[in-house]
Each structure stands twice: as structure tokens, then as C-alpha cells.
């Protein structure tokens, strides 16, 4: 019984994070990764994700593999130190391989700098000063799959459920536009059945969320 | 600073292994994975890979990720229990960044995996009664990379160093091989591998290199 949601978040986080903001940043039960222009956030609760610190990309790689392999009971972060509680399996004569007890696995310590800007970015997602307005519930994002990765898109202006959220950018389009490549990378966070809510800030940031996971993206501006 | 060769071996081994022989089987410094048709083997030093047992696919994936992330100093296997020593990193003010740190012990969660008779499988590769003969050193296998994975191939009649080892299968061939299987197993070898190829009387092929990697594959056989 692997922790596939966690493994998927960590895989997307590894893809999104980059130098300057390296690693997955943990605080108050929330994990976040960013490159400054994209931000992925998961709120796993402080009972499951304890402590505060930065999980280095190396440790994230191992943690993602553990989550893909088995059920995780909890993650403790203290600076760059990561301790995972992972479920073992054992053989039972009648059932074959069955779930076993939870074991505590301290990962090797890998250095990763703490970047306070990440906390600031996460805070912005709920900051009233950013003037967030809800845009759409469960929009269609099919265009993002058919357009080329190096295309850019703008909001279509049709925000009812079931309408395409984006259309390709054309000359004279609105102020803010978004990279298809980036949108595709971040939206991998969500499964096929996720019911997405979309918000926009006054500065053109978009946030996609499905309850406990968020993907935020900064716009390009003309 | 990563154990990329170990990670690569585990990646290929994970692709090859399948029921009824899941996992990576360890015995006396040797790691092997098989699906009963293909077999990949790596001989490590007995100091690096200790003990005996089966690393389950779940544990092999975690080990692969660790090997990709950092330098692995040693692996100890005891049944399904896997303990590795992995190098940490730390911040060094003089260097102004991340530097290699000390090794620490990481006990992977124990995942059940049935044991396979590795010693017997490996024995097949060196069993003289099976009529193994060396057929060529360092042949070309470029065709295998170019042909469709659905194709089947046979050995050329007189394999020579630097020349293609395989041709497309003929209707009369007694033994032939799947391009898909060959590709999966030959991924084991790097660009600088000097391949040595052997064949046994039943048509098994074994590719080995100077770094201790072996890939063996069984043939499809013509039945009259």
C-alpha cells in the first residue's frame, strides 16, 4: 500500500525546485517547493509531517522512492535531518506478502540551505493584500495538452465549469500570459479526478488547488 | 558523488526481474536478477556487497534512489534485511557550499521477497557440461538498437570483432532472440564496456565485460 500521492508530490516538487530555492521546505505540516516562478504546496498536517527544515533534493529522491514503495506513517524534519516511518512487509503462510510493522528510517543528512523566501511565497497564497479572486471551478485544461510546450497561453475569460480555462496567446492579448511548459509541469500534481479550483491575484499569479495540494504560477507580463 | 553505476545496475535489474524470481538476489558479493529468461549479474567486491538474501523490488527501488543521490559505501543483506552505508553531505564554510560528509548507516524497511537459487543460476553460466564456447570479443551490436523491438534476430554465422553480431532471423534458424529482450539486458553495459560473448549448446548467450557485469538470455528454439 504505497503512499502514491506523497510520491507524486515529491516527484513534481523535485522537478519544480531549483538552485536558489533547492529542496522541499517544511513548516507547520506543509511541504513546499519552488523555483521562484512556480510553487507547489502540500498540506499534510503537522501530525504526519512534523518539524521544520529543508529536505535536500537528494533526500527527496530517496523519500519519493520510499513513498512509492510503501505506506509512510510520518515524516520528521529537523533542519536537514529527515526521519521517515515506513511500513515493512512480511510473509504469511496463508496470505503471502502482507503488511508488517512500521519502522523508523533515518535518511542520510544532506545539506540544503534554508531559504526564507519560500515561506514568504507560501504565505502570499493566502495574503489578502494579493487580492485573490476565485476564477473557476473544475475548468477544462485540454488545450494545455494539445499546445506545444514552448507556446504561451492566456486566460480565456470563460470561467464556468466545463469551459476551457486557457486559449493560445495572440498578439494584442491581455497583460498576463503563462508558459504551457510550466503549467504542464505543475499540474502534474493533480490526478485525473481532481476537482480543481482556480484563483488569480491582482499581480496575475494563478493558483490551482484540490483541497490539500496547491500549484501556483507567476505570469509573464508584457 | 553518486553511485551512478550501482543505480544503473539496479535500474536494469528492476526491469528484468519478475515473478517467480522477483527482486535482486545477493550471494557472496554477487547480485543477480532474472525473469527466468534473462539474467543480469554484477560481481561486486565481497567487501562492498556482503551477506546473502533477496532485496525485494520495493527495497531495490529505494536503494536505487539512494545510490542516485549519494555515494554508497557498502551494502549488507541478511535475508530480506538491507542495511547500507551512505555518504552524507554538509556545509563547508571554506568551500562555500556542500561537501561530502561522513558515512552513516541506513536500514531500509524490511520487505518480504522470496529467495531464488542464485548460486544455481550463476552455475549455469559456468557449467562446462552445458558446452559454453567463447564466440567473439567486442562485436558490434548497433543493429539491435536500430531494429524494431518486435523483431527477432539470430547470430551471424561467423561473428568477428568489430562486426555486427546479429542479423534478422531467417525461417531456418534453429535459435533466435528477441530484440526487445536483448535491448533491455544490453542496457547494462556502458559505452566503454569491452564485451565478450559466449554461447552454450542450448543457444543461451552470455555477454560479459571487464567491469564484472553479465547479461545472459535464452533463445527461442525451433521445434520440428
Same domain, B18 and B68: yes
Same domain, B74 and B148: no
C-alpha–C-alpha distance, residues B69 and B106, integer Å = 13
Same domain, A51 and A142: no
Give the per-residue pLDDT at A84. Answer: 98
Same domain, A93 and A44: yes
Asked whether the beta carbons of residue B65 and residue A89 sit closer than 8 angstroms, the reply is no
Same domain, A104 and A207: no
Which percentage of chain A shows pLDDT scores above 70? 99
Same domain, B134 and B166: yes
Count CB neighbours of A142 within 10 A. 11
Question: pTM for the full model?
Answer: 0.93
Asked whether the beta carbons of residue A103 and residue B109 sit closer than 8 angstroms, the reply is yes
Same domain, A116 and A187: no
Does A98 score more than 90 pLDDT? yes
Which residue range is the domain that position A138 belongs to?
A: 131-221
Q: How many domains does chain B have?
A: 2
Q: How far is A102 from chain B (nearest CA, A)?
A: 8
Nearest CA in chain A to B87: A108
Same domain, A136 and A88: no
Q: In chain A, positions 78-137, which contact chain B (CB-CB < 8 Å)?
A: 86-91, 97, 100, 103, 105-113
B7 interfacial to chain A (CB closer than 8 Å): no
Same domain, A71 and A146: no
Same domain, B15 and B78: yes
pLDDT per residue over A133-151, tens digit each? Answer: 999 999 999 999 999 999 9
Give the per-residue pLDDT at A211. Answer: 85
Residues of chain A contacting B108 with CB distance shorter than 8 Å? 105
pLDDT per residue over A23-42, tens digit each? Answer: 999 999 999 999 999 999 99
Asked whether the beta carbons of residue B70 and residue A87 sit closer than 8 angstroms, the reply is no
Same domain, A143 and A112: no
A61 interfacial to chain B (CB closer than 8 Å): yes
Same domain, B147 and B59: no
Give the per-residue pLDDT at A173. Answer: 66
Give the per-residue pLDDT at B34. Answer: 95
A188 interfacial to chain B (CB closer than 8 Å): no
Give the per-residue pLDDT at A1. Answer: 63
Give the per-residue pLDDT at B1. Answer: 52
Cell numbers given for A111: 545539506
Mean pLDDT (chain A, rounded): 94
Same domain, A114 and A156: no
Q: How many domains does chain A have?
A: 2
Residues of chain B contacting A88 with CB distance shorter than 8 Å? 109-111
The end-to-end CA distance of chain B, in Å, is 55
Same domain, A155 and A67: no
B200 interfacial to chain A (CB closer than 8 Å): no
Asked whether the beta carbons of residue A108 and residue B62 sit closer than 8 angstroms, the reply is no
A20 interfacial to chain B (CB closer than 8 Å): no
Same domain, A24 and A111: yes
Residues of chain A contacting B64 with CB distance shorter than 8 Å? 65
Nearest CA in chain B to A89: B111
Is A85:A105 a contact under the CB 8 Å cutoff? Answer: yes
Boundary-marking domain end, from B93, B115, B137? B115
Nearest CA in chain A to B98: A111
Same domain, B76 and B177: no
Boundary-marking domain end, from A93, A124, A155? A124
Whole-number Cα distances in Å, B174 to B39, B134, B166: 22, 19, 14
Residue B108: which of A64, A68, A105 has the nearest Cβ? A105
Give the per-residue pLDDT at B43. Answer: 94
B65 interfacial to chain A (CB closer than 8 Å): yes
Asked whether the beta carbons of residue B62 and residue A69 sit closer than 8 angstroms, the reply is yes
Same domain, B102 and B27: yes
Boundary-marking domain end, from A87, A105, A124? A124
Residues of chain A contacting B61 with CB distance shorter than 8 Å? 65, 68-69
Boundary-marking domain end, from B84, B115, B146? B115
B9 inside domain:
yes
Asked whether the beta carbons of residue A108 and residue B106 sit closer than 8 angstroms, the reply is yes
CATH of residue A83? 3.10.150
Same domain, B131 and B61: no
Residue from A10, A54, A69 whose CB has the most chain B CBs within 10 Å, to mutate:
A69
Same domain, B99 and B156: no
B90 inside domain:
yes
Q: How do the pLDDT tens digits run along chain B, 224 residues long?
A: 569 999 999 999 999 999 999 999 999 899 999 999 999 999 999 899 999 999 999 999 999 999 999 999 999 999 999 999 999 999 999 999 999 999 999 999 999 999 988 788 889 898 889 999 999 999 999 999 999 999 999 999 999 999 999 999 999 999 999 999 999 999 999 989 999 999 999 999 999 999 999 999 999 998 87
pLDDT-based confidence at residue A74 (cuts at 50, 70, 90): very high
- Three-state SS letters, chain A: CCCHHHHHHHHHHHHHCCCCCCCEEEECCEEEEECCCEEEEEECCCCCEEEEEEECHHHHHHHHHHHHHCCEEEEEEEECEEEEEEEEEEEECCCEEEEEEEEEEECCCCCCCCCHHHHHHHHHCCCHHHCCEEEEECCECHHHHHCCCCCEEEECCCCCCCCECEEECCCCCCCEEEEHHHHHHHHCCCCCCCCCEEEECCCCCEEEECCCEEEEECCEEC
The end-to-end CA distance of chain A, in Å, is 48
Same domain, B100 and B169: no
Same domain, A135 and A87: no
Residue B69: which of A62, A87, A100 has the nearest Cβ? A62
Boundary-marking domain end, from A124, A145, A174? A124
B206 inside domain:
yes
Same domain, B199 and B98: no
A28 interfacial to chain B (CB closer than 8 Å): no
Which residue range is the domain that position B208 belongs to?
A: 127-221
Same domain, B195 and B139: yes
Is B152:B183 a contact under the CB 8 Å cutoff? Answer: no
Give the per-residue pLDDT at B179. Answer: 98
Q: How far is A52 from chain B (nearest CA, A)?
A: 18
Give the per-residue pLDDT at B2. Answer: 67
A-B C-beta contacts closer than 8 Å: 85
C-alpha–C-alpha distance, residues A219 and A179, integer Å = 8
pLDDT-based confidence at residue A158 (cuts at 50, 70, 90): confident
Boundary-marking domain end, from B115, B141, B169? B115
B83 inside domain:
yes
Same domain, A86 and A174: no
Amino acid at each position: 500500500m504505497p503512499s502514491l500521492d506523497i510520491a507524486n508530490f515529491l516527484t513534481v516538487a523535485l522537478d519544480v525546485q531549483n538552485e536558489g530555492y533547492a529542496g522541499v521546505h517544511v513548516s507547520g505540516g506543509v511541504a513546499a517547493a519552488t523555483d521562484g516562478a512556480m510553487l507547489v504546496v502540500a498540506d499534510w498536517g503537522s501530525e504526519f509531517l512534523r518539524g521544520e527544515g529543508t529536505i535536500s533534493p537528494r533526500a527527496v529522491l530517496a523519500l519519493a522512492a520510499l513513498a512509492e514503495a510503501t505506506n509512510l506513517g510520518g515524516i520528521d524534519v529537523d533542519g536537514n535531518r529527515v526521519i521517515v516511518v515506513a511500513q515493512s512487509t512480511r510473509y504469511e503462510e496463508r496470505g503471502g506478502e502482507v503488511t508488517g510493522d512500521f519502522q523508523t528510517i533515518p535518511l542520510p543528512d544532506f545539506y540544503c540551505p534554508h531559504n526564507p523566501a519560500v515561506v514568504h511565497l507560501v504565505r502570499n497564497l493566502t495574503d489578502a493584500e494579493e487580492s485573490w479572486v476565485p476564477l473557476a471551478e473544475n475548468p477544462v485544461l485540454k488545450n494545455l495538452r494539445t499546445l506545444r510546450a514552448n507556446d504561451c497561453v492566456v486566460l480565456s475569460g470563460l470561467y464556468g465549469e466545463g469551459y476551457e480555462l486557457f486559449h493560445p496567446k495572440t498578439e494584442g492579448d491581455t497583460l498576463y500570459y503563462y508558459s504551457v511548459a510550466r503549467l504542464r509541469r505543475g499540474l502534474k500534481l493533480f490526478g485525473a479526478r481532481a476537482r480543481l479550483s482556480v484563483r488569480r491575484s491582482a499581480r496575475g499569479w494563478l493558483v490551482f488547488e484540490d483541497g490539500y495540494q496547491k500549484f501556483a504560477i507567476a505570469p509573464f507580463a508584457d | 558523488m553518486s553511485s551512478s553505476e550501482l543505480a544503473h545496475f539496479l535500474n536494469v535489474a528492476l526491469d528484468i526481474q519478475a515473478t517467480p524470481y522477483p527482486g535482486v538476489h545477493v550471494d557472496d558479493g554477487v547480485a543477480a536478477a532474472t525473469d527466468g529468461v534473462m539474467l543480469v549479474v554484477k560481481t561486486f567486491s565481497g567487501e562492498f556487497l556482503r551477506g546473502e538474501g533477496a532485496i525485494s523490488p520495493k527495497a531495490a527501488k529505494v536503494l536505487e534512489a539512494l545510490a542516485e543521490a549519494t555515494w554508497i559505501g557498502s551494502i549488507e543483506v541478511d535475508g530480506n534485511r538491507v542495511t547500507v552505508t551512505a555518504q552524507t553531505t554538509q556545509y563547508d564554510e571554506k568551500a562555500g557550499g556542500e561537501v561530502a560528509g561522513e558515512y552513516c548507516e541506513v536500514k531500509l524497511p524490511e520487505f518480504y521477497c522470496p529467495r531464488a537459487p542464485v548460486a544455481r543460476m550463476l552455475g549455469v553460466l559456468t557449467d562446462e557440461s552445458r558446452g559454453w564456447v567463447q564466440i567473439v570479443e567486442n562485436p558490434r551490436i548497433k543493429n539491435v538498437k536500430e531494429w524494431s523491438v518486435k523483431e527477432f534476430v539470430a547470430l551471424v554465422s561467423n561473428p568477428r570483432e568489430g562486426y555486427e553480431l546479429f542479423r534478422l532471423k531467417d525461417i531456418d534458424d534453429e535459435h533466435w532472440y528477441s530484440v526487445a529482450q536483448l535491448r533491455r539486458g544490453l542496457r547494462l553495459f556502458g559505452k566503454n564496456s569491452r564485451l565478450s560473448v559466449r554461447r552454450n549448446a542450448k543457444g543461451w548467450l552470455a555477454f560479459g565485460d571487464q567491469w564484472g557485469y553479465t547479461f545472459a538470455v535464452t533463445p527461442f528454439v525451433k521445434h520440428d
